[in-house]
C-alpha cells in the first residue's frame, strides 16, 4: 500500500478523497463536532489558547504524510492506541503534538529553511522518476491537490514538520544513549536460559476440595469478588450505507460522488433516529434500509458481523441507555449508524459456578505465604515447597526467545512482565481460571560472543527502538509542561 502511495501520483487523488471524507465525518458532521464552534478554545499550549479551528487546519497532515512517505512524523507524533480510542482522537492527538513540536523547534532554533524544505521535497519518492526529482510529476500532484483545496504550501508545511520531528528527535536521543547495562539486561531476559520451579493450582482440581470451611470460602469469594466478574455483554442493530461491489470498482472521482451521497443519507437517517431511537427499525423500514443485528458480544470479543469495522466496534461499545444511537461511523467502504439493542451488565458469577477457582486461589495464597516465610529463613524454594506439601514442576532450562515446549509458562512470564533474579519468587498469578507462581532457581550465563554479534547486527534497530522510547517520554513531559493534552479531558467527558 505504502509503496503504491509513494510511486503513483494518481494515488494522491485517493488520499485527498479520503481526507475530504474524513474531514466531513470528523469535523463537519454535526453529531461529532466538538461543542462551541470553530473558535471555541479546547486547550492551551505554552499559555497560548488553541481553538477547534486551529486543529481543523491540520486535518490533512496524517493523510499527506502517509502519501508522501513521511513516516517519521507519524511514528513519533501519532498518539498510541492507549492514548487515542478513535479516529477523531487520533486526529486531535496528532494535531496537538504537532503544535507543541513547532513551539519546541522554534525554541531550539532548528526551524528548517526554505532551501532545506525544497531539497527534502526533491528527495521524496512521490516526486521522483527513476530516482531523480521529476518537476512534471510534482506539478501533476500539485494540480490534483489544488482541485481539492490544498496548495503547495500544504505540502511544504508537512515536509517542514517532518524535518522538525527529525531534528528534535536527533537532539533528544543524542542526549540519552542507551546504557550498556540496560541493553545487557534486556538481552539476558530474552536470551539467557532459566531454570524455574513452577507451582500451579488448577480450578478443576479444587472444585470438590474441602481443605477450607464453607464460611472461609464464602468470605474469600466476597472479599475477592472482582476476580469473578463476568464482563458486560451487549447487542446492537445497525444500518450500513456502503458501496456495492460494482461501486467499489468506480474511478476515484465517481466513487467520491457516491460516498458523498451515502454520507448524506447516513447523516439524514442518524438525525432522525437519534431523537427517536425507539423508532430505529420503523424509520429504517420506511427508507427501505436493511437492519442487521449482532449477537451478544463483549468489548474484547466483537461479534463477527462487525469485527472488521473497528470504528463501529468502538462506537458500539460506547453506547448506553442514555445515548443508544451512534454518530455516523466511517467504515472501510462507507458509513454505519447503530443502536444499542440489549445489555447484559457486568455481574459477579455465583459462588457455585466458581468454587473451584476460589479454593484454588486460597490454596495458592496459603502455600505461597508458607514458602516465602521459609525461604526468608534460609530454606531453598524446593525444600520449602516440600515442607508445604507440594511438588513444583521443574521444566528443562529454556529462554523466552526460544521456549521450546514451555510456551505456556513463557507467555505467563512475558504477559506479567516478570523480571526475576535467581532466588526470587513471583506473586501468585492468574492463568485463565487457574493460579500459578514461579521461582527463579538459576539463570545460565549468556554467550558473550553471541551478545557482541547481536549488538553489532542489530545496532540500528536497537538505537531506533530505544530512541523511540526516549522521544515518547520527552514528548509526554513536554506536553505536561506546556499545559497537557486535551485527549484525557474528552475521554472522560
For residue range 55-76, what is the model confidence (pLDDT) as tens digits?
Answer: 888 988 888 888 889 999 999 9
Q: Do 483 and 432 belong to one domain?
A: no
What's residue 319's pLDDT? Answer: 95
Residue identified by cell 468470605 is 219
Question: Is the pLDDT confidence value at 16 over 90?
Answer: no
The HSE-up count of residue 140 (CA atoms within 13 Å, CB side) is 15
Quote the percentage of the chain above a pLDDT of 70.
Answer: 90
Q: Which string of b and e fits 143-177 if b means at least 16 CB within 10 Å?
A: ebbeebebeeebbbbbbbbbbbbbbbbeebbeeee
What's residue 177's pLDDT? Answer: 80
Q: Do 305 and 384 belong to one domain?
A: no
Q: Do 334 and 424 belong to one domain?
A: no
What's residue 201's pLDDT? Answer: 97
- pTM of the entire structure? 0.58
* pLDDT, average across residues 26-51: 66
Distance between CA atoms of residues 4 and 11, nearest Å: 7
Of 22-31, 87-96, 121-130, which has the strongest mean pLDDT? 121-130
Tell me whether residue 253 is in a domain.
yes
Question: Is the pLDDT confidence value at 429 over 80?
Answer: yes
How does DSSP classify residue 305? T
Question: Is the pLDDT confidence value at 84 over 90?
Answer: no
68 sits in the region (left: phi over 0; alpha: psi -120 to 50; else beta) called alpha
pLDDT digit string (tens) for 271-282?
999 999 999 999
* pLDDT, average across residues 350-369: 97
Tell me whether residue 66 is in a domain.
yes
Query: pLDDT band at 158, cuts 50/70/90?
Result: very high
State the cell numbers at 370.
Answer: 508458607
Tell me whether residue 184 is in a domain.
no
* pLDDT, average across residues 94-111: 95
Query: pLDDT band at 179, cuts 50/70/90?
Result: confident
Question: Is the pLDDT confidence value at 167 over 90?
Answer: yes
Distance between CA atoms of residues 101 and 163, nearest Å: 11
More confident residue, 285 or 20: 285
What's residue 355's pLDDT? Answer: 97
Q: How many domains does one find in the chain?
A: 3
Question: Is the pLDDT confidence value at 269 over 70?
Answer: yes
DSSP string, 130-192: TTEE-HHHHHHHHHHHHHTT--HHHHHHHHHHHHHHHHHHHHHHHTSPPPHHHHHHHHHHHHS
Non-local (6+) Cβ contacts of 225 within 8 A are 348
Q: Do 46 and 102 belong to one domain?
A: yes
Tell me whether residue 455 is in a domain.
no
Tell me whether residue 124 is in a domain.
yes
Question: Is the pLDDT confidence value at 145 over 90?
Answer: no
What's residue 310's pLDDT? Answer: 92
**What ranges in 237-380 are assigned the alpha helix state H?**
252-275, 280-286, 310-318, 351-376
More confident residue, 140 or 475: 475
Tell me whether residue 227 is in a domain.
no
Cβ–Cβ < 8 Å for 72, 162: yes
Q: Do 282 and 414 belong to one domain?
A: no
State the cell numbers at 229.
Answer: 466478574
* pLDDT, average across residues 374-401: 97
How does DSSP classify residue 36? T
What's residue 8's pLDDT? Answer: 37
Distance between CA atoms of residues 368 and 83, nearest Å: 37
- 373 lies in which domain range? 193-212+350-443
Q: Do 336 and 376 belong to one domain?
A: no
pLDDT digit string (tens) for 326-341?
999 999 999 999 999 9
Three-class SS of residue 325?
strand
Query: pLDDT band at 489, cuts 50/70/90?
Result: low
Picking from 345, 364, 395, the residue at the C-terminal end of a domain is 345
Rounded CA Rg of the chain: 28
Question: Is the pLDDT confidence value at 97 over 50?
Answer: yes
Question: Is the pLDDT confidence value at 313 over 50?
Answer: yes
Question: Is the pLDDT confidence value at 204 over 60?
Answer: yes
* pLDDT, average across residues 137-146: 84
Residue 36 CA: distances (Å) to CA of 33, 51, 53, 99: 9, 10, 11, 21
Tell me whether residue 183 is in a domain.
no
Q: Which helix (H) or strand (E) holds 235?
A: strand 233-242
Q: Do 120 and 162 belong to one domain?
A: yes
Distance between CA atoms of residues 404 and 397, nearest Å: 10
Quote the percentage of the chain above a pLDDT of 90.
Answer: 73
Residues forming beta bridges with residue 297, ordered by sequence position:
234
Cβ–Cβ < 8 Å for 105, 167: yes
What's residue 38's pLDDT? Answer: 60
Amino acid at each position: 500500500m505504502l509503496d503504491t502511495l509513494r510511486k503513483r501520483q494518481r494515488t494522491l487523488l485517493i488520499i485527498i478523497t479520503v481526507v475530504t471524507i474524513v474531514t466531513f465525518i470528523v469535523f463537519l458532521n454535526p453529531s461529532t463536532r466538538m461543542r462551541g464552534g470553530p473558535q471555541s478554545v479546547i486547550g492551551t499550549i505554552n499559555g497560548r489558547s488553541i481553538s477547534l479551528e486551529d486543529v481543523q487546519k491540520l486535518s490533512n497532515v496524517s493523510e499527506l504524510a502517509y502519501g508522501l512517505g513521511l513516516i517519521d512524523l507519524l511514528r513519533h507524533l501519532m498518539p498510541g492506541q492507549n492514548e487515542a480510542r478513535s479516529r477523531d482522537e487520533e486526529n486531535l492527538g496528532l494535531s496537538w503534538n504537532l503544535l507543541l513540536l513547532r513551539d519546541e523547534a522554534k525554541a531550539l532554533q532548528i526551524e528548517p529553511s526554505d532551501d532545506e524544505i525544497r531539497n527534502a521535497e526533491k528527495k521524496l519518492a512521490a516526486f521522483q522518476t527513476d530516482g531523480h526529482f521529476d518537476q512534471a510529476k510534482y506539478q501533476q500532484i500539485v494540480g490534483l491537490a489544488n482541485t481539492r483545496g490544498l496548495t503547495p504550501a500544504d505540502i511544504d508545511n508537512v515536509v517542514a514538520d517532518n524535518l522538525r520531528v527529525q531534528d528534535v528527535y536527533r537532539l533528544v536521543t543524542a542526549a540519552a544513549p542507551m546504557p550498556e547495562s540496560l541493553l545487557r539486561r534486556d538481552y539476558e531476559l530474552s536470551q539467557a536460559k532459566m531454570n524455574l520451579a513452577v507451582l500451579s493450582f488448577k480450578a478443576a482440581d479444587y472444585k470438590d476440595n474441602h481443605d477450607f470451611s464453607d464460611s472461609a470460602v464464602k468470605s474469600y469469594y466476597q472479599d475477592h469478588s472482582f476476580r469473578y466478574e463476568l464482563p458486560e455483554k451487549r447487542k446492537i442493530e445497525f444500518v450500513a450505507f456502503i458501496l456495492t461491489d460494482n461501486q467499489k470498482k468506480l474511478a476515484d472521482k465517481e466513487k467520491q460522488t457516491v460516498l458523498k451521497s451515502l454520507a448524506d443519507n447516513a447523516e439524514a437517517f442518524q438525525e432522525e433516529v437519534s431523537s427517536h431511537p425507539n423508532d430505529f427499525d420503523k424509520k429504517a423500514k420506511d427508507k427501505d434500509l436493511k437492519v442487521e443485528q449482532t449477537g451478544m458480544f463483549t468489548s474484547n470479543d466483537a461479534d463477527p458481523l462487525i469485527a472488521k469495522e473497528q470504528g463501529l466496534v468502538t462506537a458500539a461499545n460506547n453506547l448506553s441507555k442514555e445515548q443508544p444511537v451512534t454518530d455516523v461511523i466511517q467504515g472501510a467502504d462507507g458509513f454505519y449508524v447503530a443502536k444499542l439493542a440489549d445489555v447484559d451488565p457486568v455481574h459477579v458469577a455465583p459462588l457455585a459456578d466458581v468454587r473451584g477457582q476460589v479454593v484454588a486461589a486460597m490454596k495458592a495464597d496459603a502455600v505461597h505465604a508458607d514458602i516465602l516465610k521459609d525461604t526468608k529463613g534460609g530454606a531453598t524454594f524446593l525444600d520449602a515447597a516440600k515442607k508445604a506439601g507440594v511438588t513444583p514442576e521443574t521444566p528443562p532450562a529454556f529462554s523466552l526467545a526460544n521456549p521450546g515446549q514451555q510456551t505456556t509458562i513463557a507467555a505467563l512470564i512475558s504477559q506479567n512482565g516478570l523480571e526475576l533474579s535467581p532466588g526470587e519468587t513471583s506473586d501468585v498469578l492468574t492463568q485463565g481460571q487457574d493460579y500459578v507462581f514461579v521461582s527463579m532457581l538459576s539463570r545460565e550465563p549468556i554467550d558473550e560472543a553471541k551478545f557482541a554479534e547481536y549488538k553489532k547486527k542489530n545496532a540500528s534497530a536497537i538505537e531506533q527502538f530505544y530512541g523511540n522510547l526516549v522521544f515518547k517520554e520527552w514528548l509526554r513531559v513536554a506536553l505536561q509542561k506546556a499545559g497537557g493534552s486535551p485527549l484525557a479531558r474528552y475521554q472522560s467527558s
